[in-house]
Amino acid sequence: MKQSVFFAAVTAAGLSAGAAAAGTLDDVKARGTLNCGVTTGLVGFAAPNANGEWEGFDVAVCRAVAAAVLSDPTAIEFVPTTGKTRFTALASGEIDMLARNTTWTFTRDVDLKFEFTGVNYYDGQGFMVPKALGVSSAKELDGATVCIQTGTTTELNLADYFRKNNMDYEPVPIETNAESQQQYLAGACDVYTTDRSGLAATRASFETPSDHVILPETISKEPLGPLVRHGDNEWGDLVRWTLNALIAAEELGITSANIEELAKGTNRPEVNRLLGTEGTLGEMLGLDKEWAKRAIMVGGNYGELFAKNIGESTPIGLARGLNAQWTEGGLLYAPPFR
């Protein structure tokens, strides 16, 4: 008797866990907060400011989703994750989505059973060298000592690149980004390699950034984007289209300054559909008409978020590059809102 009760309890628990996994949107609405996984701190992408509020480019995605679902961009429980804990946190249901500069790769998407819902930053591995070295291309780095973070894909990319170009290098293995900055400045290595956004942030923190150059070559593709669990397509759609809404808003010229004006109705049907004055796109997602308007109003469209957090006017000073709209030679291409 007791045993059967026990088994029944376990089955019930299993069923409710399954149900919970199937309806993330309902869970989030019932809870009233979005559990969003972020990094423990990465310049420009996610870090708490002096008042303890999270800021950054990845954080902006969380805030847009929270605004779309809960009408409140602050109704978020930020769950800081490290490179080692991020995937278990998502898989175990501790977080509803992960926005943590995570590279979209085949194994992560297929084998780890996650669903990448788009790309919010196209990154790639690059090299930084002191200007005094007189190097202008990565092809001239034969025989260099290279500071490299161990256990990352950057390590493998580096080996591939040097082998492909028949060059030798001497790796200086480093544990963390902070350590590698010190090692590089102390002259322990000639070259520092990591994602270009990281190189730019590192270079910006140097006393004399102009003494260092980031070489033009990009040796890997690192599309970074938010991801959710497999198996809850409605929730995946919601995160995907919230990101698309931010990107499309830039393409359509919707900014935080003119959105109130445009939301009264325009003669441009796609703007109207996006902002909810025409059509029923919001209802299809299980939200209301103004979901995208709220998401965009948090911090503006994609371009505004980029400029505010990592753009050329910030200390990090990243150019749009690949992250420009497709109409301007970049890779950002939001599918039509129709």
Partner 1 sequence: MSDTHSQSAFVRSEILPEAPPPVRERGIVKWFRENLFSSVANTILTLAAIWAVYYLITATGPWLLNGVWTTSSLSECRDVLDGRTGACFSVLAERWNQLIFGFKYPDELYWRPGLAFVLLFVALAPLLFAKVFPRKLLVLTAIYPFLAFYLIWGGTIMVPVFALLGFVVGFFVYKRLVLQSASMGLLGAVVSALVFWYVTGFLTGYMSNFLALEPVPSRDMGGFMLNMMLGVICVSLSLPIGILLALGRQSTMPIIKWISVVFIEFIRGVPLITLLFVANVVLAYFLPPESSLDLILRVIIMITMFASAYIAEVIRGGLAALPPGQYEAADSLGLDYAQSMQLVILPQALKISIPGIVNVSVGLFKDTTLVSVISMFDLVGMIRGPILGAAEWNGVYWELFGFAALLFFIVCYSISQYSQWLERQLRTDHA
Nearer to partner 1, 89 or 135 (CB): 89
Least spacing, CB of residue 266 vs partner 1, in Å: 36
Q: Please pick, from the candidates 22, 112, 172, 204, the single residue that binds partner 1 as defined by CB under 8 A.
A: 204
Q: Is there binding between residue 210 and partner 1 (CB under 8 A)?
A: no
Strand, coil or helix: what is 37?
Answer: strand
Instruction: State the residue for tokens 């990094």.
Output: 39
Cβ proximity to partner 1: between 79 and 228 the closer is 79
Q: What angle do CA 52, 55, 67 make, to 5 degrees?
A: 105
Site string for partner 1, 13-52 (x = CB under 8 A): x--xx--x------------------xxxxxx-xxxxx-x
Q: How far is the CB of 264 from partner 1 (least distance, A)?
A: 37
Site string for partner 1, 164-203 (x = CB under 8 A): ------------x-x--xx------------------xx-
Note whether 314 binds partner 1 by CB under 8 A.
Answer: yes
With tokens 């500071």, the residue in question is 147
CB of 135 to partner 1, least distance (A): 23
Site string for partner 1, 61-80 (x = CB under 8 A): ------------------xx
Residues binding partner 1: what is the number (CB under 8 A)? 41
Q: Shortest distance, CB of residue 216 to partner 1, whole angstroms? A: 24
Distance CA 181, CA 166 (A): 27
Q: Does 207 bind partner 1 (CB under 8 A)?
A: yes
Nearest 5 degrees, angle CA 291-CA 296-CA 298? Answer: 100
Contact between 325 and partner 1 (CB under 8 A)?
no
Contact pattern from residue 271 through residue 310 relative to partner 1, giving x for each residue in contact according to CB under 8 A and a dash for the rest: ----------------------------------------
Measured from the CB atom, is 80 or 286 closer to partner 1?
80
User: What does the DSSP 8-state code read for residue 210?
Assistant: G
Q: How many CB atoms lie within 10 A of CB 42?
A: 18
Q: Which is nearer to partner 1, 42 or 64 (CB)?
A: 42
Work out which of 94, 234, 237, 290 binds partner 1, going by CB under 8 A: 94
Whole-number Å distance between alpha carbons of 161 and 140: 13
The two tokens of residue 72 are 């409140």
C-alpha 45/C-alpha 99 separation (Å) is: 9
CB 212 → partner 1: shortest distance, Å? 13
Angle 233-251/291-299 helices, nearest 10 degrees?
60
How many Cβ atoms are within 10 Å of 332's Cβ, its own excluded? 25
Print burial letters for 275-309: b (CB count within 10 Å at least 16), e (below 16).
bbbbbebbeebbbebbbbbbbbbbbbbbbbbbebb
DSSP secondary structure of 248-277: HHHHTT--TTTHHHHTT--S-HHHHHHHTS
The Cβ of residue 247 has, within 10 Å, a number of other Cβ atoms equal to 22
Asked if 149 is part of the footprint of partner 1 (rule: CB under 8 A), the reply reads no
Selected binder of partner 1 within 249, 271, 316, 334 (CB under 8 A):
316
Q: Is 201 left (phi over 0), alpha (psi -120 to 50) or beta?
A: alpha
**Residues in contact with partner 1 by the rule CB under 8 A:** 13, 16-17, 20, 39-44, 46-50, 52, 79-82, 84-85, 88-89, 91-94, 176, 178, 181-182, 201-202, 204-207, 314-316
